[in-house]
């Protein structure tokens, strides 16, 4: 849901009408639903012991029904992207790329020390998806946003892996968090997050951004910082909340940057 909201917000900032922005946001939500459902299918055997309350292990959703959701979600996401506006071909190509990266995470990268890579590559596609859907191109200033988004994606991947670290160790699953160890995975997360926040705020200040985007960026920085502090806990529940806080903070930071950065094509 958060990914769809980010895409819709970016589209609105780019000048799209409300209908186009909503269609792009729902399109991304459907694509992510497809990716997330495939992830649940892949994780179902392990979740029987680690997360028995999830829909497939609990018997609330059958594997066949989950496969249907995976296929339909991907198809609906691509179709809505095609219909969202005059730049449908470019949006569909980006949608296929989103699905490819997400499925690669589900089927290949998850449970490995490289699980952060699809996040690092996939997160920058969110603002690109919204902007291209609204305008058909991206502005030159995305040359700063996209590298920063790659670093943000890597940080969020580490935070996500930290939330599952105890379960992964118990099941023998390898992740970037189990490979680095708890202290170092937190340090990496904190360092990457700090770089993203510093680059965003410095860019806004140097670009003469107004008080609203600067204030939003500072709020985002506080939320990310709170997530990092909470994430130092060894409790899996607190780490889950920490990862969610960081994700929200990064989303607000991206919106602030888009509001305040020069966005001429």
pLDDT greater than 60 at residue 57 = yes
Q: What is the dihedral of CA 83, 14, 264, 192, to 10 degrees?
A: -110
More confident residue, 190 or 112: 190
**Does residue 153 surpass a pLDDT of 60?**
yes
CA distance linking residue 234 with residue 239, whole number of Å: 7
Token couple for 243:
């990862």
pLDDT band at 40 (very low <50, low <70, confident <90, very high): confident
Q: With a cut of 50, say whether residue 1 has pLDDT above it.
A: yes
Please give the average per-residue pLDDT across 143-163, as a whole number: 91
Q: What share of the chain has pLDDT > 70, as a percent?
A: 95
Please give the pLDDT value at position 51. Answer: 66
Q: Indicate whether 56 pLDDT > 90.
A: no
Would the pLDDT of 47 be above 80? no
Q: Kindly tell me if the per-residue pLDDT of 52 is higher than 70.
A: no
Q: Is residue 173 a contact partner of residue 46, using CB atoms and an 8 Å limit?
A: yes
* Cβ atoms 25, 146 nearer than 8 A: no
Nearest residue to 4 (alpha-carbon basis) of 60, 76, 65, 72 = 76
pLDDT at 181 over 50: yes
Which pLDDT score is estimated for 265?
45
Mean model confidence pLDDT for the chain: 90
Residue 218 clears pLDDT 50, i.e. is over it: yes
Report pLDDT for 107: 93
- Reported as a single tens digit per residue, the pLDDT across 235-264 is 989 999 999 999 999 989 988 888 887 664
2-13 vs 125-135: helix crossing angle, rounded to 10: 40
Q: Other CB atoms closer than 10 Å to residue 52's CB: what's the count?
A: 10
Tally Cβ neighbours within 10 Å of residue 265. 12
- In this prediction, residue 158 has a pLDDT band, given cuts at 50, 70 and 90, of very high
Q: Dmax over Cα atoms in the chain, in whole Å?
A: 55
Q: Higher model confidence: residue 174 or residue 71?
A: 71
- What structural domains does the chain harbor? 1-138 (1.10.357.140), 140-265 (1.20.120.1780)
CA 137, 142, 143, 147 torsion-angle sign: negative
| pLDDT tens digits for range 72-100 | 999 999 999 999 989 999 999 999 999 99
C-alpha pair distances (Å), 137 with each of 21, 94, 105, 185, 206: 15, 12, 27, 36, 24
- The pair of structure tokens assigned to 133 is 């859907």
């Amino acid at each position: 849901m958060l990914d769809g909201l980010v895409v819709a917000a970016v589209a609105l900032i780019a000048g799209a009408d409300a209908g186009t922005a909503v269609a792009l946001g729902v399109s991304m939500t459907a694509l992510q639903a497809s990716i997330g459902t495939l992830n649940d299918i892949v994780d179902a055997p392990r979740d029987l012991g680690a997360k028995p309350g999830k829909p497939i292990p609990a018997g609330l959703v059958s594997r066949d029904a989950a496969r249907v959701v995976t296929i339909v979600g991907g198809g609906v996401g691509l179709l809505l992207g095609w219909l969202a506006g005059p730049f449908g071909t470019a949006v569909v190509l980006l949608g296929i790329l989103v699905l490819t990266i997400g499925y690669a995470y589900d089927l290949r990268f998850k449970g490995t020390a490289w699980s952060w890579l699809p996040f690092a590559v996939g997160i920058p596609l969110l603002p690109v998806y919204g902007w291209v859907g609204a305008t058909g191109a991206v502005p030159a200033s995305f040359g700063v946003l996209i590298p920063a988004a790659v670093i943000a994606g890597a940080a969020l991947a580490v935070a996500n892996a930290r939330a599952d670290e105890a379960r992964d160790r118990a099941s023998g699953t390898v992740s970037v968090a189990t490979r680095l160890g708890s202290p170092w995975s937190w340090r990496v997360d904190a360092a990457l997050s700090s770089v993203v926040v510093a680059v965003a705020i410095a860019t806004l200040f140097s670009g003469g951004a107004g008080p609203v985007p600067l204030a939003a960026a500072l709020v985002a920085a506080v939320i990310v910082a709170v997530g990092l502090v909470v994430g130092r806990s060894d409790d899996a529940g607190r780490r889950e909340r920490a990862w969610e806080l960081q994700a929200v903070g990064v989303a607000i930071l991206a919106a602030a940057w888009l509001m305040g950065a020069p966005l001429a094509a």
